[in-house]
Amino acid sequence: MRRLIAFILSATLAAPVWPQAAEASACQGMGFAVGFFNGVWNTQQDAAAGADKLRQLIGTRYRASDSGKDEPVQVEVMYNTTGAQIGSIFLQDVAEVFAQRSTDINIDLSQRWELFWDVVSGDRSGAWDVLQQVAGMPALTASLFDAVRAKTISNLALMSSSPPTEADTARHRTRIKALVSERQKLVFVAHSQGNLFLNRAYEAALSVPTPDGGKITGDNIKAVHIAPASTTLKGPYTVANIDLVISALRLTPGSVPGINLELAPSSRDFSGHGLENTYLDASRPGKARIASQLLSVFDTVVTPKTKANAAFFTASLMYSGLGSIDLYVLEPNGRQVVVEKDQDGPEGVKFGPIESDYYRASCDPNQLQRGTYRLAFDNVLWTATTEIFLQISSALGGDLLYEKVDDTLVREPFGRLRLLLSVVVAEDKDGKLQATIKR
């Protein structure tokens, strides 16, 4: 049985404000939910910046073809950690080999990163030809080229073959299930390695049942792939001729989609692979192409036939391995709510990785309780390998918190509630609802 890869995403003690509209709802309502799956070597800040670029491109409202009305558009990050880890390996390892071998052949190439990207793309022309004219250089530069190229191919193979982590996939699945249950039209957009996660998320969304016993279909989920480091496509894609990373991936096992966008090189991004500085660069045609693809999927995606039960905030527990974990929510009015789990095994024993049902705080301002919601859990059954993750999301802001529960709490005896954190709902000075996460 697979275990979730343990990791901790830092969470601030104070969550972002969740604004409330003037209407009789604290939530945004049905519309378009755009999930952005970040690419390789992206930090969380990088991924957030990419999502911001998509917001600027898409806007905040769009006329839905199935309703004929202007509906809200929300863009949120479906962050993956694998890209950052592999990206670090890719950049650091290859650059170190380039610098070290340059020193070995007594050539200062510290400012010649165009040569570095020539190696990544397998191009021996241009400045490399100039170096070949120097006495004794052909053999030395060939050695440099081959060494850096070998490391490049090795790390690209790692990037293309490394699957999405179970922890990230479970996190995405939990959020997607909430969006589908809220009857959001789903549009997934991915860059680089994020396409591997997009494909997993797409399949997970198709497994969500509808009240009539059916399933979500491809009509309810659309995808746009940008520089896909993937052999599988769920929708239209864009790959530029100058994308050295994707070009290099063609030398690894499997295949990637062909070039369908011609761009002139830019000094802003020698790799030709960056989301902001290549594909969404306003001075080149990639941005217009991607905008057109997004419009096409927005015009065809339709609302899923699920229950519209959006929540001001949701809380969920996920855990790995064999176990049975109960999530408790102590509401401001004193009521204690026990949240049951999905995917029960024999006699109530759960098999992970799984996620709990969601605790949902009402979107109706007249029903939403003001005050402190205390989240706790009771470990009914655990093993030495049980790992628990807490996820809190909002209908407007997407994931607000996702973290691994301290192992010492997990190992405490059954029958004792362990407090995780609190969510405080209150009105600000303008009468708008806001929520903060407190320890």
pLDDT at 157 over 80: no
pLDDT band at 231; cut points 50, 70, 90? confident
State how far the Cα of 241 lies from the Cα of 134, in Å rounded to an integer: 31
| Reported pTM | 0.70
Distant-in-sequence contacts of 275-282, Cβ < 8 A, 24+ apart: 275/39, 275/50, 275/53, 275/191, 275/192, 275/226, 275/227, 276/49, 276/50, 276/53, 278/240, 278/242, 278/243, 279/191, 279/226, 279/227, 279/238, 279/240, 280/53, 280/57
Which candidate, 50, 22, 21, 25, places its Cα nearest to that of 35?
Answer: 50
With 0-12 CB in 10 A as exposed, 13-18 as middle and 19+ as buried, what is 68? exposed
Assign 8 a pLDDT band (cuts: 50, 70, 90). Answer: very low
For β-strands 354-355 and 185-191, DSSP reports them as: unpaired
Q: What are the structure tokens assigned to 413, written together?
A: 């005896």
Q: Between 144 and 337, name the one with better pLDDT.
A: 337
Tell me which DSSP letter residue 276 carries. Answer: I
Average pLDDT over every residue of 338-342:
66
The first and second tokens of residue 270, run together, are 């020698």
Residue 426 scores a pLDDT above 70: yes
Give the burial class of 253: count Cβ atoms within 10 A of its Cβ; 0-12 exposed, 13-18 middle, 19 or more buried.
exposed
Residues 6 or more apart whose CB falls under 8 angstroms from that of 332 comprise 369, 370, 371, 372, 373, 425
Closest CA to 9 of 321, 389, 384: 389
Would the pLDDT of 298 be above 60? yes
> Token pair 């650059």 is at which residue?
95
Find the mean pLDDT for residues 145-167.
Answer: 66
User: What pLDDT is recorded for position 20?
Assistant: 35
Mean pLDDT of the chain: 76
Task: Return d(Cα 242, Cα 264) in angstroms, integer.
Answer: 7
pLDDT at 404 over 70: yes
pLDDT band for 351, please (50, 70, 90 cuts).
very low
What pLDDT does 323 receive? 63
> What was the pLDDT predicted at 325?
77
**Measured between alpha carbons, how far is 28 from 76 in angstroms, rounded to an integer?**
14
Which 3 state secondary structure label does DSSP give 182?
coil
**pLDDT of 313 higher than 80:** yes
